[in-house]
Amino acid sequence: MAERMKVIVAERIADAGIEILQKELDVDIRFGIKQDELLEIIEDYDALIVRSVIKVNEELLSRAKKLKVVGRAGNGIDNIMVPAATKRGVLVVNTPESNTISAAEHTIGLLLASIRNIPAATMQLKSGGWDRTPFKGVELYGKTVGIVGLGRIGSMVATRLAAFGMKVIAYDPYISDERFKRFGAEKVTDLNELVRRSDFITVHTPRTEETMGMIGEEQFKIAKRGVRVVNCARGGIINEAALIKAMEEGIVASAGIDVFEKEPSPGNPIFNLEKIAVTPHCGADTVEAQDRVGITIANQVIAALRGELVPNAVNLPTLQEEELVSLHPFLCLAEKMGKVYFQLDKNPVERVEITYGGRVANKDTDMLTISFLKGLLEPIMGEKVNYVNASLITEHRGVKVISTKEESNERRFVNLITARVYSSNTFMEIAGTLSANQEPRLVGVKGYDTDITPTDNMLFVENIDRPGVIGPFACVLGEHNINIAMMGVGRRQRGEVALMTLNVDSEVDEDVVQKLKKIDGIISVKVVKF
């Protein structure tokens, strides 16, 4: 029985998450462990789970010889040195989606509370009054909402506000056009245009140098008079001083704010404004969200230790779970395509060009490129290369990687991935697609048209295209009790060199390979494992 891998849980997560971990791993629960103590024992663990206190820095990573994954039970990663982890092939995962629903719903709640004056009306009633005159609000129906940031939370807000009958426009220069279409949002390429057109503005971006103060005095000058704003993202994205001024001047009619430039924020002058709903950074603070954090990080750590791809890994291209499901067959295809080169040719690689043609071009192909590079390097590096460090290793080896997209392809496949791997004086082309049942197929290798279903054990054979070659070849395999499961032959010109590919049911050792090479008409025999 294989020894179970070990995870240390250094900071508190929900009991439900611990229970999931214990089903598959040896779990060492050390809530509140000190940094120095963790440094002394980290070399024994395959996985580490933290929140915000433990520093996953260069010193810790250098001692963590077995570490494969760091799980951050939460959204931020300020306490994790991601580049250092990537260099060592350590996957970093967090739980950005665990509070997505809670944050999106809180955004809607603050929006409704502020535009309907619910906090002020509540206070009046509790103080003994009864006068609805000051609390006339506005409807969402038929209005335009401008969403800044169409990521996880922004896209959820978009679908929910669309259900109110709102027109949704969005600004996000880092999101594909396909995502705007998927969530029913009109793409706006200029932030100021969004501000001019919006009746309501809500922000959903991370806090960076670029986003700090991006909604400020200049934006309020060009906004519609009576615009209403919400910030449930990060404090400072909407400049507080500019917001106060805009509300005092009547430019901003109401606001809903959950996050502040300085937290905690006692005595903040923003609290004195009328027609504002404020909460103490509690957008993610629901029972469901906190349970989901523990469960999600547990499942992600287990998946990473199994060698599976994890949605929304920090040091991989961002993929949501539904995107990963649809991309998975292409990931398998790309990796298998990559494995071909070094098993057929030992020349050092200088450049890789990958073209995505057909429907696959509409997908997030960054991850597919990484998958190809992982497959390319595995035959010569083994387990040292993984999804996390494949791009970095390729870069350090001086290999230039170029990827392009085409709406169609010359061979008229619905989906076609074509890779050209260049050495100093030659190149090898490998083309692949998916079968009707979403299985990988290699449809071109070294300029030969093929129809290959990659399996564990294969032979790629170049031979003279003439009678009397294939029969003796099959006989030698039969003499060694090697069964041929499938066979295909591709050629460029009749009577010249052909490529014969065989799927066999068992390994072909070097002695058999040497016998096969001696057959008249056989030029080369390569064992290829997928």
263, 439, 479, 507: the active-site residue: 263
DSSP 206: -
Query: Quick check: is 210 catalytic?
Result: no
Question: How far out from the chain centre does Cα 454 lie?
Answer: 26
From the list 418, 393, 413, the residue with the least C-alpha distance to 338 is 418
Q: How is residue 457 written in tokens? A: 């054990």
From the list 517, 529, 527, the residue with the least C-alpha distance to 463 is 517
For residue 99, count other CB atoms closer than 10 A to its CB. 24
- The 8 Å CB, 24+ separation contacts for 342-347 are 342/376, 342/379, 342/380, 343/379, 343/460, 343/526, 343/527, 343/528, 343/529, 344/428, 344/445, 344/446, 344/460, 344/526, 344/528, 345/423, 345/428, 347/423, 347/424, 347/426
Pairing of the two strands 457-464 and 497-504:
antiparallel
197, 281, 359, 491: the active-site residue: 281
Pairing of the two strands 457-464 and 522-529:
antiparallel
Query: Quick check: is 234 catalytic?
Result: yes
For residue 466, count other CB atoms closer than 10 A to its CB. 13
| Runs of H (alpha helix) within 2-151 | 15-24, 35-41, 58-63, 82-87, 100-115, 118-126
Q: How many Å apart are CA 453 and CA 495, to the nearest integer?
A: 26
Query: Quick check: is 411 catalytic?
Result: no
234, 240, 335, 378: the active-site residue: 234
For residue 147, count other CB atoms closer than 10 A to its CB. 30
Q: Which residues are tagged catalytic?
A: 234, 263, 281
